[in-house]
Amino acid sequence: MKQLYVDLGRRAYDILIERGILKAAGQYMRPLLQGRKVAIVTDEIVEPFYGAAVIASLEEAGFQTKLIVLPPGEGSKTISMLETIYDALMDFDITRADTVMALGGGVIGDLAGFAAATILRGVAFVQIPTTLLAQVDSSVGGKVAVDLKAGKNLAGAFYQPKLVLIDPNCLDTLPSRVLADGMAEVIKYGAVFDEPMLRLLEQAGGLAGLRPHMEELLYRCCDWKRSVVVEDEQDQGSRMLLNFGHTLGHAYEVAYHYETYPHGQAVSAGMCKIARMQQQAGMLSSQEVQRFQNLVRLYELPTEIPCTMESYVHAILKDKKGRGDKITLILLEQLGKGVLAPMATADLVRWLQETELQEKQSKERPQEEAV
Ligand code: NAD
Ligand code: GLY
């Protein structure tokens, strides 16, 4: 078993990574939790795969359980679904000694976490993430939220779990599109912190070659996440490095109404766009940018998504990490080393315009020459 300790003092917790650990959930949770009740929040796709095994393990460890099964997908991350969870928790007569567990992807983790943070002013929370994105990113670090009409993740909290149990076997039932989506975050960790991990991903040759390396990758990603969360729990400094590619990625998500491009595809294109902007400004070599884009393609993710300047500007101005006329962009000093780059939003818009123009000209040039 691989183990990490997120050292946040009184809010510290372990991340345990092992194939099959889901079937031993009760055994790992029992010593950490006071109460006897665990409410398991999950979705209609995940529950048939893993619900029974988790319940059996919890009951064997002496817990009383209740399943709360929600429709899958981002559409469930709403205040009204939160109310459904609150009602189910009240029906279960949950007390402040009891526990809410998230069994699912990032949607379930964010939603169940927000319910755990707020019901009775906070009960214990355990994460069993079942998508790659949730295993390497959203289950660690305590960001919990629901979406509002005005945008994603706008009502939320920092609320750390008591335990994160990561079972790499869960990835075996994941549709390949969802797996590829999570790979965007893995590639992001490599780009920002860990050049050797980029090499490992290149050597694996794509999704099919990854299985033997999965535990190692999960461990390394969680370790990077652990280190930034411990250093900057409230997202005021180094944790922002995790946002590499996300500002422009958000522009693509919004421009296509969250329908055409899932989060990971949008982030991939966002990372590649920033890399090309840096190449245009002489900050990254063409070899580095080509290498990075080849890796993104290897994992079935896009390097470009068509987008208007209006959509870019809208996303930049709306960026949660922005402060009005300033924004903290994440750039790469080199592959494997991200840096925070505070800049005026007007400068970022100008830089994007210049890169757009240059990319348009270089796409037109060969055709002109052929005429
Ligand atoms: P998701 O939770 O919607 O899961 C994707 C799909 O996979 C769903 O249909 C789900 O039912 C299915 N699924 C989950 N596990 C499965 C399994 N093992 N086998 C088969 N199917 C399975 O999406 P996601 O990509 O995991 O998470 C996206 C969410 O995470 C977004 O809401 C995003 O805002 C949030 N997020 C949060 C943080 C954070 O720090 N809290 C970080 C990144 C993303
Ligand atoms: N996923 C970004 C963060 O946890 O800060």
Atom of ligand 2 nearest to the CA of 137: 1
Task: Enumerate the domain spans of the chain.
Answer: 2-173, 192-367
Give the mutation target among 8, 132, 137 for probing the ligand 2 site: most ligand atoms within 8 A of CB: 137
Percent of the chain with pLDDT over 70: 97
CA–CA separation, 60 vs 306, rounded Å?
Answer: 53
pLDDT digits (tens, 9 = 90+) for 127-182: 999 999 999 999 999 999 999 998 899 999 999 999 999 999 999 999 999 999 99
Assess contact for 6 and 146: CB atoms under 8 A: no
Cα–ligand 2 centroid distance for 358 (angstroms): 32
Cα–ligand 1 centroid distance for 106 (angstroms): 4
Label the pairing between strands 326-334 and 337-344: antiparallel
pTM over 0.85: yes
pLDDT digits (tens, 9 = 90+) for 214-253: 999 999 999 999 999 999 999 999 999 999 999 999 999 9
Cα–ligand 1 centroid distance for 326 (angstroms): 31
CA–CA separation, 305 vs 346, rounded Å?
Answer: 22
Atom of ligand 2 nearest to the CA of 225: 4
Cα–ligand 1 centroid distance for 285 (angstroms): 34
Domain 192-367 has CATH 2.40.50.140: no
- State whether residue 122 is helix, strand or coil: coil
User: Which protein residues touch ligand 1 with a CB less than 6 Å away?
Assistant: 43, 45-46, 49, 72-74, 77, 104-108, 110, 130-131, 133-134, 137-138, 141, 143, 152-153, 170, 173-174, 178, 181, 263
Cα–ligand 1 centroid distance for 74 (angstroms): 8
CA–CA separation, 172 vs 295, rounded Å?
Answer: 22
Q: What is the CATH number of domain 2-173?
A: 3.40.50.1970
pLDDT at 76 over 70: yes
Region of 150 please: left (phi>0), alpha (psi -120 to 50) or beta.
alpha
Assess contact for 355 and 277: CB atoms under 8 A: yes
pLDDT digits (tens, 9 = 90+) for 16-75: 999 999 999 999 999 999 999 999 999 999 999 999 999 999 999 999 999 999 999 999
- State whether residue 163 is helix, strand or coil: strand
Average pLDDT of 95-112?
98
